[in-house]
Structure 1
């Protein structure tokens, strides 16, 4: 047994792990945008939105097909954002106008988006080659020259920083506070004259717009859009939110711009999530079990606050 363990450890190349880290960081930054969207619905609005799995693929499909039609890849991202907002609008209207429970409304939208995405793509997937189009981000940039790698990471970081700054400003406005009040206490918000239905729909649109933008970037990064590219996205988004909250929550508390720190911690959580997955792959665990490991990671971080609180209560009781 000892010899087998020694042989196994010897087969692991630290260099291979180091090579995978830039790609993991890049994916973490891109999925961090999706995590920001999940944070808005999960934490601020207190809405269980499963539209994410469909709206990410919608954003990717729209971006890829527009790029293939000759549109500038940067401009295509705007339409990916708008496509995501449309998906969020549908979920919001199903919930507010038709009275369908939030989780069921989002599931209905997610299911319908699968067919819509197939119609947008014309097939199950469509490729967009970096050799033919000047893509905003691409996996190829990481393996190319140092200049391409720097440009790639600079673009991803700027995307995250700019969006965090915009969200920090927006949720400090009267409308942003109304969204937060709606999520905090809907009855009290309504008593204060806030149109909770309108702000629920608006928050869902902003959230899924960010998810669609993330999908557009991710489709360019991997060089293709696929109808299944958003499957399990909600798990990754929740993982990023929970990891960021557990690891950086105390650091964010009490800060003058605590909300901005919280948003940045969500992106940091997405990066850490992909770094953990890189280590899992480096340890040569079956790639088919990645979804299982994702669920385990989320379950662990979800349980940490509860277990810490339970341990604290036991300590006080003693």
Structure 2
């Protein structure tokens, strides 16, 4: 049971990545690989500021700001220099490795002895159950904030930019600015996942972001499958399903470990799981 509770907690920590991928890929149709770097950036900034005893609100703002700057750089390279979005993300992600290593100053930074977000509130004696309450409140507030943003005029303009860029540009909307801001928001959310997971696991690591984009992608694909099956059009319900996708993804990995699969094969299992959830709907539709 403890394994599945840990998976649930990790799924909630990865909600930011899932929301970020949802914004970049499903709203703007941009495959943003900056995710790997901005996730680590969030963790690195969190770790360093915790070791310097900075207040929690300052750490949170610094993480959001750092992730937003990383995403904005990708957006600027893509829109202003007219470089392919995938390549722009790869360039920024590669540069962020050096930035993260410079900030961290080492490959791994332990944080177990330091106060964190999960030690602020002690409602229950069990640390995992206590973390569940804190994470649930944090992610619920984040979901409400994103849902509200996407329902505003600005959010509607963002969604319209992804659906029909030429039409939105004809209406006088600066689509380049929308993409830059959208990628900044997406990577700020991704950095928040790094902020959460670093404090949950008790360390920051320079390689923590390698392949993490597959987690967000898998979560969004699970959500998209559910959205299509249930024919959901509500933004709020879509976000809830994206969050559910992140949790389901982690629970599947936990089940894989629980049945005795070698942990060394976990990355391969992850790739196969994403392949299955991508391929099955396509195979079903082609047979129909």
Alpha-carbon separation, structure 2, partners of 1:149 and 1:128: 17
Question: 1:252: how far off?
Answer: 5.9
Alpha-carbon separation, structure 2, partners of 1:247 and 1:75: 37
Where in structure 1 are there 5+ consecutive unaligned residues? 1-17, 313-318
Q: Are residue 283 (structure 1) and residue 264 (structure 2) matched?
A: no
Alpha-carbon separation, structure 2, partners of 1:72 and 1:304: 47
Partner SS state of residue 193, structure 1: coil
Counterpart pick for 2:110 among 106, 127, 135: 127
Residue 216 of structure 2 is matched in structure 1 by 237
| CA deviation map 1:169-223 (0-9, x unaligned) | 1111111111111111111111111100000000000000000011011111111
Alpha-carbon separation, structure 2, partners of 1:162 and 1:304: 33
Residue 82 of structure 1 is matched in structure 2 by 65
Q: Are residue 215 (structure 1) and residue 194 (structure 2) matched?
A: yes
Residue 294 of structure 1 is matched in structure 2 by 270
Q: Are residue 203 (structure 1) and residue 182 (structure 2) matched?
A: yes
- Using structure 2 for the length normalisation, give the TM-score: 0.95
Alpha-carbon separation, structure 2, partners of 1:149 and 1:221: 10
Residue 9 of structure 1 is matched in structure 2 by none
Alpha-carbon separation, structure 2, partners of 1:22 and 1:73: 25
Partner SS state of residue 23, structure 2: helix
| CA deviation map 1:229-278 (0-9, x unaligned) | 11111100000011122235433615xxx111111111111111111111
Runs (4 or more) in structure 1 with deviation over 6 Å come to none
Residue 128 of structure 2 is matched in structure 1 by 149
Alpha-carbon separation, structure 1, partners of 2:114 and 2:228: 41
Q: Higher Cα Rg: structure 1 or 2?
A: 1
Q: Are residue 268 (structure 1) and residue 244 (structure 2) matched?
A: yes
Question: 1:290: how far off?
Answer: 1.1
Counterpart pick for 2:17 among 21, 24, 34: 34
Q: Are residue 114 (structure 1) and residue 94 (structure 2) matched?
A: no
Alpha-carbon separation, structure 1, partners of 2:47 and 2:134: 19
Residue 72 of structure 1 is matched in structure 2 by 55
Contact 1:65 1:120 in 2 (8 A): yes
Contact 2:6 2:128 in 1 (8 A): no
Residue 309 of structure 1 is matched in structure 2 by 285
Partner SS state of residue 118, structure 2: coil
Alpha-carbon separation, structure 2, partners of 1:137 and 1:44: 32
Question: 1:149: how far off?
Answer: 3.2
Alpha-carbon separation, structure 2, partners of 1:278 and 1:149: 16
Question: 1:150: how far off?
Answer: 3.2
Q: Are residue 168 (structure 1) and residue 147 (structure 2) matched?
A: yes
Where in structure 2 are there 5+ consecutive unaligned residues? none
